[in-house]
Amino acid sequence: MVQRDGVSRRTLLKRGAAASLAVSAPYFMPRGTLAAPGPLGANERLRAALVGCGGQGRADMHAMLEVGGAGLELVALCDVDKRQSDAAAKAYNGKFESKPDVYQDFRRVIDRKDIDVVVVGTPDHWHATVMILACAANKDVYVEKPASHNIREGRAMVEAARKYKRIVQVGMQQRSDPHFREAMEYLRAGSPLGVISRTATFNYANEMPDGIGSPPDTDPPAEVDYDMWLGAAPKRAFNPNRFHWSWRFFYDYGGGMICDWNVHIQDIIHWGMQVDAPLSVTAFGPTVAHGPLCREGEGYKRALKDNRETPDMMDVVYEYKAPDGHLFTQVYTMGKVYHRGNVQESYGTEFHGSDGSLFINRGGWEVTPEDTQVDLDNPRHRTRKVTKIPPRTLAVKKPGNDTLPPHVKNFLDCIRSRKIEDLHCGIEIGHRTASACHLGNVALRVGHKIWWDCDRETVLTQDGKPDEEANRLLAREYRQGFELPSV
């Protein structure tokens, strides 16, 4: 039994129920680089735990149990809100063979040597800590998107997966959906769209005028360990909007819609264009509570009458360099306060090329060929003639759907084979996509264009010097006792 400062790990575990994370921190010190585990036999049963038993966590675990069949057993559920874990236990009992143990402190899950797999369905600000400690305890991890709360945490997660040689999949399940994979193969097949100079992602949902509302602060529910729920975030009074689901609209815990939704659809841009980081980022969104863009009295007022911190409308312009060296622009648009006009879909991803365009979302994908030619009749007066021409590429229209089973199957297959390279969305991919979304928030909050040095993961000014204001937003200040584990 490993000891530190004369205190055994078992003793610290017993103290854990009443002690803070700070007291238990030595208990979780990384153990050093491990030898890579070998492949598992086809009949070896994996034992899994779910940390964070809200709707998405339960959906992930349910899909995993369906796919895993007799080869996967759910042995533990954990949530700081006992109502969540109890509801999950009730849902699973009787439907699957297992009758999982229920915990309120995830450290008890991490300590169990019989657990092979941890599914992390917590709010974003807990992703990194739970994942890093699970990896250090020899467990493979499925972590929900966005991979991290901030860029520095994301890099630590990548390093932990490498150091401990663990299989870590990020829950961006579109990477495994058959129609997304088919569309990405289409893009790689001989440039059927010609030169792609612009891409776009968007999501709309008009919530005028009340949005998520502005409920008053109150006492936390008796069933909730609120101090543990806050974790690294600053200590503050409980507010219903800073809790289940709507926590994502507050920077202490999440990154708003750009990190919650655009992380899915921007990932398709990275995948299709074979890029993993922007060159520069510019953002606009008048509701953010930081930086010069929205000081009260300067004409920048909130549109929604709610207490969210993150924007209720946002436009982000990214510059990327494709593998062949040509530059293209990626634009993210999010609106919570206006009608989407003649845009047919409420969300999606677009690739605009010289020979046609491709649109894709979870409902399917479609290619619209270019079939017009613009000629200048009179160069002096710049008059234009538009003529119909044979389509420059073939039209495509195929259905699709959003489904979790292929993604969790890929994860479980890689656990058994130990082939990290076969993961559809490993932690490095998840980190790079999340970083692009985080950078949108960074640019918005500092109120100016930023340049990204991907190799050093540092924000620069136009003259190539470190942008100190922006770089401070790549990490967070940790509440004492809830610091990020070292890797």
**pLDDT per position as a tens digit, 297-320:** 444 456 788 999 999 999 999 999
Structure tokens at 301: 């007022």
User: Left (φ > 0), alpha (ψ -120 to 50) or beta: where does 291 sit?
Assistant: left
Check if the beta carbon of residue 122 is closer than 8 Å to that of residue 116: no
Chain centroid, CA 470 distance in Å: 21
CATH 3.30.360.10 residue ranges for the chain: 178-224+232-402+427-474
Number of H helices, E strands in the chain: 14, 20
CA torsion through residues 334, 336, 341, 345, sign: positive
Residue 28: the pLDDT is 44
List own/partner pairs for 93-100 with CB under 8 A and 24 or more apart.
96/65, 97/73, 98/73, 98/74, 100/49, 100/50, 100/74, 100/75, 100/76
Q: What is the pLDDT of residues 335-384, one digit of tens each?
A: 999 999 999 999 999 999 999 999 999 999 999 999 888 877 766 666 77
The one-letter code for the residue type at 29 is: M
Q: Global pTM? A: 0.90
Three-state DSSP class for residue 404 = coil
Check if the beta carbon of residue 157 is closer than 8 Å to that of residue 148: yes
Q: Strand order of the sheet with strand 396-399?
A: 396-399, 364-369, 356-361, 347-353, 196-204, 327-335, 313-321, 280-284, 450-453, 458-460
DSSP codes of every residue in 407-436: HHHHHHHHHHH--GGG-SSBHHHHHHHHHH
Residue 342: the pLDDT is 93
Cα–Cα distance for residue pair 262/434, rounded to 1 Å:
9
Residue 5: the pLDDT is 33
CA torsion through residues 421, 426, 427, 433, sign: positive
Beta-bridged to residue 328, according to DSSP, are: 320
Residue 34: the pLDDT is 52
CA torsion through residues 90, 95, 101, 107, sign: negative
Residue 11: the pLDDT is 35
Cα–Cα distance for residue pair 83/222, rounded to 1 Å:
10
Cα–Cα distance for residue pair 477/470, rounded to 1 Å:
14
- What tens-digit pLDDT sequence spans the chain (487 residues)? 333 333 333 333 333 333 333 323 333 445 555 556 777 766 689 999 999 999 999 999 999 999 999 999 999 999 999 999 999 999 887 677 778 999 999 999 999 999 999 999 999 999 999 999 999 999 999 999 999 999 999 999 999 999 999 999 999 999 999 999 999 999 998 779 999 999 999 999 999 989 999 999 999 999 999 999 999 999 999 999 999 999 999 999 999 999 999 999 999 999 999 999 999 999 998 654 433 444 444 444 567 889 999 999 999 999 999 999 999 999 999 999 999 999 999 999 999 999 999 999 999 999 999 988 887 776 666 677 888 888 889 999 999 999 999 999 999 999 999 999 999 999 999 999 999 999 999 999 999 999 999 999 999 999 999 999 999 999 999 999 999 999 9
With a CB cutoff of 8 Å and minimum separation 6, the contacts of 486 are: 29, 30
Give the CATH class of 178-224+232-402+427-474.
alpha beta
Residue 22: the pLDDT is 33
